[in-house]
Chains A and B, each alone.
Chain A
Amino acid sequence: MRHARTVAGVLIVAVLLFPLYWMVNASLQPSGALLKPSPDWFPVAGTLDGYRKALSTQGGHLLSSVLIALGTVVVSLAIAAPASYALAQLKVRGGTSIVFALLIVQMIPGIVMANSLYTVFGNLGLIDSYLGLVLADSTATIPFAVLLLRAFMVSIPRELSEASRVDGAGHWRTFFSIIVPVSRNAMVTAGLFSFLFAWADFLFAVTLTTGQAFQPITVGIYRFVGNQSADWNGVMATAVLASVPAAVLLVIAQRFVVAGLTSGAVKD
C-alpha cells in the first residue's frame, strides 16, 4: 500500500493524542459530564457554552500569551545563539565551566526563582510588565537554548568558519552570515521550545502580575477553576481555543526545518 506509512502515522497520532480528543470532548459537554457512568465518547448532546464563555473572556489573555511567548523567543535566541557559537566553535577558557553552570542553574526550584524574581523585579518596577515576564521566562529558556544550540553547533565543520575568516570576515560577520543560516534547523528547534516554555508557564505569570494590567492564558484559565467550583467546560474550551494559534505557529515553524545541515556548504 502506497500510503501505508501515512495510515500508520495517523493511527499512532490518534492513540497518542487521545487525551487531547478527550479534552475537546469535554469542552463540548457540560461540566463533569465525562464522569457519568457511561460517558459520551462523542459529544452528542453538545453545548457551545464553554466556547462562548471562553471567547468572551479570554481573548485578551491569548494575545498577551502570544506576545510574551514571541518576546521570549527573540530574547532567548538573541542571547543564546552567540553564546552557543562561542562555546561550540571558539576556544574559550572556562567553556566547560560555563556549560556546567548553565546545567546547574536550571535545577533551582521554580518557586525559589519566582520569589527572587519578585523581589528583584519589584525593585526594578518590572511587575505587571511584558518585559518583566519575557525576562523571567527567558531564565528558563536561555540555558536550554544555549545547551541545545551548542550540541548542534559542535557538529558544524570548522572549515565553514575558517573559510570565511580566511576571506577576511570578522567573527560577527562569520556568525551572522555563515553560522546562523547553517544552524537554522537548530535555531528553529530552540525557538520552538522557548515559545512552548513561555506559553505554558504559570508560576512566573502568576507571581509577576497582579491582574491589574494583563494576564497570560495560563492564569486567565483560573477564572474557571476556583477553590469552590470548577467549570471544566470553560476550562477545556479555553484550552482548545488557546491551542489553536499555538498549533498553527508550530506547523509553520516546522516547515522551516530544512533537511541536511551542510548540504552544499562545503565540498565533500
Chain B
Amino acid sequence: MTLTATGVRAERPTTTRRRGGGYAGYAFLAPVLLYVVVFFGYPLVANLVMSAQDYTVRSFYTGEAPFVGFANYAAVLANPLFTTAVLNTVLFTVGSIAFQFGIGLALAVFFSGRFLGSATLRSLLLLPWLLPLVVSGAVWRWMFDQDHGVLNAVLRLVDAPVPWLTSTEWALPAVVITNIWIGIPFNLVVLHGGLKAIPPTLYEAAELDGASGWQRFRFVTWPLLRPVTGIVLMLGLVYTIKVFDVIMVVTGGGPANATQTLTTWSYALSFRDFAFGQGAAVGNLLILVATAFGLLYLRSLRATLAEAAS
C-alpha cells in the first residue's frame, strides 16, 4: 500500500527490476541472515532438544540427559497449573495490548499536533521505558501497597480501597496496569512515527471536503496507519507474552499463582523445580503460539502486498 493513493501509478520497466533485484536483495539480507543463524540458531535448537530430554541439574555438568520424547509436554499439559497459566497469559496479554495500543494511539494523535511543548512532552512520555525494571517494579509495588500505597490513599477518598497485590482477583489487574504503563512509550513512538508519515496534504484535502476530526481520523489516519498498526500489534503481542521481569518484581507469580503466566511458569519449572525439560517445553509452546499469530500477520501482509501489486 503506497501513499500515492490519490495519484496514478507510473509505468514501470519490469525487466531492469527483475534482473537486479534478486542478487542485490540477498546481499542486503546477508548480514541479518548470518546474525539470525549464528545467534538464534543454537538456542532455538537447544531449547527444542532440551524439551525432549529429562534435563536435570546434573545434566548441566555431565552433559547427559536421557531422551524422553513427548513426556515433558504431556507432564506440562497434565499439570493443573497449565490452565491457570494459559488463562492468566491470555488475560494479561489482551488487557495489556488493548490499553497500551489504545492509550498509545490516543497520545500519539494528541501529541502529533503542533503546539507549545508537544515535542518535549512527547519525549518525556518515553521515560517509563528508560527505568530498570527493578526500579519501576519497586515504585509500583509501593503504590499498590494495600495499607500505605498512594493508589489506595486516593481511592480511600471515594471509600473504595482495593487489595491490589494481596488478593487473587486484583493481582493480575495490578500487573496489567504496571505493564500498560511500561508499554505505552513503545506504542506511542511507533504510532507517532506512522502518523508523521501521513502527508498533511491529505488532511487538508479532507478538511476542505468538510470532514470532522473523527471522520478525518477514521478515513485518513486509520487506513494509512494500517501497516504500522499491524507491526505494533504483532510485536506488542510477542513482547507481552514474553514479559517476565515486570511480573516477577511486582508479584513473583503470586499470590497463589494468580499472576503466573506461561513465561513465568516456564522459568519456575526450570529454576525452582529444576525440571528444565518441562520449562523448555512450555517455552516451545509459547513459540508455537507466536508462530500461529505470526502466520496470521503474514496472511494480512500478503493481502496488503497483493493489493499493492494489483
Contacts and interface: CB of A to CB of B under 8 A. Distances in A.
B262 to A, nearest CB: 10
A86 B46 contact: no
Interface string A83-109: 101110011110110111111111111
Contact of A17 (B26, B115, B124, B286): B124
Contact of A108 (B44, B119, B184, B185): B44
How many chain B residues sit at the interface, stated as a range, is 35 or more
A70 B124 CA distance: 20
B143 A22 contact: yes
A261 B143 CA distance: 42
Given A6-B117, A96-B301, A86 B29 contact: yes
22 contacts: A79-B35, A90-B21, A96-B298, A99-B298, A106-B242, A107-B241, A107-B242, A109-B266, A113-B43, A135-B39, A139-B35, A142-B35, A148-B235, A152-B227, A155-B227, A162-B12, A185-B193, A200-B133, A221-B135, A254-B119, A257-B196, A260-B197
B31 A111 contact: no
B286 A109 contact: yes
Given A139-B40, A154-B308, A243-B131, 10 more contacts: A17-B127, A103-B234, A103-B294, A108-B283, A109-B244, A138-B35, A155-B197, A185-B197, A246-B130, A247-B127
B216 interface: no
A101 to B, nearest CB: 6
A202 B133 contact: yes
A100 B200 contact: no
Interface in B40-61: 40, 42-44, 46-47
A175 B140 contact: no
Contact of A110 (B18, B244, B271): B244
Interface in B262-310: 263, 266-267, 270-271, 280, 283, 286-287, 290-291, 294-295, 297-298, 301-302, 304, 308
Nearest to B230: A151
Contacts of B267: 109, 111
B40 A109 contact: no
Interface string B118-132: 111111111111111
Interface in A236-261: 236, 239, 242-243, 246-247, 250-251, 254-255, 257-261
Interface stretch (B3-11, B70-78, B82-90): B3-11
A216 to B, nearest CB: 10
B28 A193 contact: no
Interface string B233-261: 01100110110110000000000000000
Contacts of A261: 3, 196-197, 199
A52 interface: no
B139 interface: yes
Interface of A: 3, 5-6, 8-10, 12-13, 16-20, 22-23, 26, 34-37, 39, 78-80, 82-83, 85-87, 90-93, 95-96, 98-113, 115-117, 119-120, 135, 138-139, 142-144, 146-148, 150-152, 154-159, 162, 165-166, 171-172, 175, 185-186, 189, 192-193, 196, 199-200, 202, 217-218, 221-222, 225, 232, 235-236, 239, 242-243, 246-247, 250-251, 254-255, 257-263, 266, 268
A188 B271 CA distance: 38
B155 interface: no
Contact of A255 (B32, B111, B119, B286): B119
Nearest to B280: A112
A117 B31 contact: no
A262 B5 CA distance: 13
A151 B193 CA distance: 11
Nearest to A186: B193
A79 B231 CA distance: 19
A258 B175 CA distance: 36
A12 B103 CA distance: 11
Nearest to B228: A151
Nearest to B287: A107
B24 interface: yes
Nearest to A36: B148
B193 A92 contact: no
Given A82-B28, A104-B290, A155-B3, A10 B135 contact: no
B186 interface: yes
Nearest to A247: B127
Contacts of B135: 23, 221, 235-236, 239
B2 interface: yes
B162 to A, nearest CB: 17
Given A100-B294, A112-B47, A91 B124 contact: no
Contacts of A185: 193, 196-197
Nearest to A197: B129
Question: Which of B110, B126, B228, B244 has the most chain A CB atoms closer than 10 A to its own CB?
Answer: B126
Contacts of B189: 189, 192-193
Nearest to B3: A155
B184 A16 contact: yes
B22 interface: yes
A58 to B, nearest CB: 12
